[in-house]
Amino acid sequence: MLTIVAFIVALGLLIAVHEYGHYRVAVACGVKVLRFSIGFGHTLWRYKPKKQRPNQDTEFVIGAFPLGGYVKMLDEREGPVAPEERHLAFNAQPLKSRALVVAAGPIANLLLAVVIYAGLNWWGLDQPKPIVGTPVPGSIAERAGLKGGETVESVAFDGEDARRVRSFDELLWLLTKAAFVESNATLHLASGRDVVLPLSEVHARSEDPALAKKIGVIAPFTRAEIAEVLPSGAAERAGLKAGDKVLEIDGKPIADGTQLFETIRASGRNGAPPKQAWTVERAGRKLVIAVTPALEHDASGTNIGRINAKVGSAPEMLRVQYGPVEGLVKGAERTWEMSAFTLQMMGRMVVGEASVKNLSGPLTIAEYAGKTASMGFIQYLGFLALISVSLGVLNLLPLPVLDGGHLMYYLWEAVTGRSISETWMERLQRGGVAVLLLMMSIALFNDVTRLFG
């Protein structure tokens, strides 16, 4: 139920903001708005204010089908317009006004993302410090010389100035972005050492756990200890206790919680895990405990070892908070980076350099809406900002059925001095619908595969 409610609230809010952008600018440009609708189909709620803005007679509606919305304006192409009201029709407005009305929807979504990100920056978030855990064996990070436990102060990409890193989450985002744009990243550590990650070698095609493992930086540093022993598992049978610090497994030193976790998982790779000799520190004493992980399977069906315990301490946290101006600037920067990243990903999918598995549809959006809502209001707001950016960028794509397609029509009109003919308009609309349906089909297929595959 939480997933459904969170999804409907998110969708309703983002659509309302998008359509309000169209509506508000249309009114400001002197266009008569007939209907403002959130959703399609059967009308669930209808309201028509008695007191309207000058020259307006707008009806506000909520439809039964929530996947969309629209603002219906007076327009001679959609029906007869009284001569005395022709100056209020959308099609009779100057080119600049029409372009502003069309662009206002996507811009409203992008501005919403800026406001949300800025608000989160002003409020402040508790995030893990940028201290890297043990790199994945054989990964780029390990080959570059990272051992685990290093604090990253800044990251610089090819041809760019160094950027200060304030949290581990920010570090992950920067490394993921660098991998997709095939740029090397130079990490400046608190020790004064620089480590170059040749991420141009990754050739990333999709954002998934495999990419994180290729890079090698997957989790912040945590102490190698048993946080909690769950009942009826290998850890309980072996006699492990919460608070045990794991020093070695079969004579191999364990540096942190990430390495401990991966060592347990890897024990089942070749079948039933063998008995292991764990050297732990408990109340100042060293003990050797025999632990035999259970053989289980992860979501992909891979053999893994599991001891039924929570391993690794909580990472060191810090409060990341910005002042009024810096918080707003950071919010705008985040929105710009997410927009550019989304466009780069779409472009790479078109030319086959990125997997179409990156496309997500309503099922995945609903799933993440529910997950973030269950995690807390702050996480849900971050999700809303991300989806708002995606919605804004998507609608600016030059597809005839989207806002970006209409802006392309107006660009043609501005260059040639004449509008596109009805024949070409119809052809382009059909092509745009076909492309959009193809994208929706791929996204829905990806959703089903992720959830049930």
Question: Could you report the per-residue pLDDT of 383-393, keeping only the tens digit for each?
Answer: 999 999 999 99
Query: Is 19 one of the annotated active-site residues of the chain?
Result: yes
Mean pLDDT of the chain: 89
Residue 77's pLDDT is what? Answer: 87
- Cα torsion 318, 336, 370, 347 to 10°: value is -130
C-alpha–C-alpha distance, residues 266 and 271, integer Å: 10
What is the tens place of the pLDDT at every residue in 209-267? Answer: 677 888 999 889 999 999 999 999 999 999 999 999 999 999 999 999 999 999 999 99
Q: Is 210 exposed, middle or buried (0-12, 13-18, 19+ CB in 10 A)?
A: exposed
Q: Say if residue 453's pLDDT is above 80.
A: no
If you search the block for the tokens 């998008």, which residue do you land on? 18
Which strand (E) or helix (H) includes residue 16? helix 2-28
- Which residue in this structure is represented by tokens 């900002």? 385
- Of 92-106, 207-221, 342-356, 409-423, the range with the lowest mean pLDDT is 342-356
**Plot region of 315 (φ>0 → left; ψ -120 to 50 → alpha; else → beta):** beta
Q: Which helix (H) or strand (E) holds 444?
A: helix 422-452
pLDDT of residue 91: 92
- Which band of pLDDT confidence, cut at 50, 70 and 90, is reported for residue 205? low
Length of the chain: 453
Question: In this structure, is the dihedral angle defined by the CA atoms of residues 296, 247, 170 and 124, taken in order, positive or negative?
Answer: positive
Nearest residue to 344 via CA among 197, 207, 247: 207
- Model confidence at 189: pLDDT above 80: yes
Lookup: tokens for 27: 């009114």
What does the block give as tokens for 300?
């992909």
pLDDT above 60 (res 208): no
Phi-psi label, residue 308: left if phi above 0, alpha if psi -120 to 50, beta otherwise: left
Q: What is the predicted pLDDT for the residue at 277? A: 96
For 95-111, the pLDDT digits (tens) are 999 999 999 999 999 99
- pLDDT at 118 > cutoff 90: yes
pLDDT tens sequence across 292-332:
999 998 877 789 999 999 999 999 999 999 999 999 999 99
Instruction: Please give the pLDDT value at position 381.
Output: 93
DSSP type of residue 145: T
Q: How many CB atoms lie within 10 A of CB 94?
A: 9
The HSE-up count of residue 182 (CA atoms within 13 Å, CB side) is: 11
* Per-residue model confidence as pLDDT tens digits over 34-93: 999 998 888 899 999 988 888 899 999 999 888 789 999 999 988 899 999 999 999 999
CA angle, residues 433, 10, 440, in degrees to nearest 5: 25
The residue whose two tokens read 């764990």 is 278
Q: Which of 19, 150, 207, 262 is catalytic?
A: 19
The pTM score is 0.86
Q: Looking at the predicted structure, is the pLDDT value of residue 181 above 90?
A: no
Interacting residues of 270 by C-beta distance below 8 A, sequence separation 6+: 303
Q: DSSP of 247-306, one letter per residue?
A: EEETTEE--SHHHHHHHHHHTTTTSSPPPEEEEEEETTEEEEEEE-PEEEE-TT--EEEE
What's the confidence (pLDDT) of residue 263? 93
pLDDT tens figures, 127-178: 999 999 999 888 999 999 999 999 999 999 887 889 999 999 999 989 988 8
Residue 366, token pair as written in the block:
């609903």
Residue 308: its pLDDT value, please? 94
Domain ranges for the chain = 93-124+323-453, 226-317
Instruction: Write down the pLDDT at residue 188.
Output: 95
Tell me which fold the domain 226-317 belongs to.
Answer: Pdz3 Domain (2.30.42)
> Exposed, middle or buried, 232 (CB in 10 Å: 0-12/13-18/19+)?
exposed
- Inter-residue contact 335 to 117 (CB < 8 Å): yes
What pLDDT digit, counting tens, does each position of 354-368 carry? 677 777 777 777 787
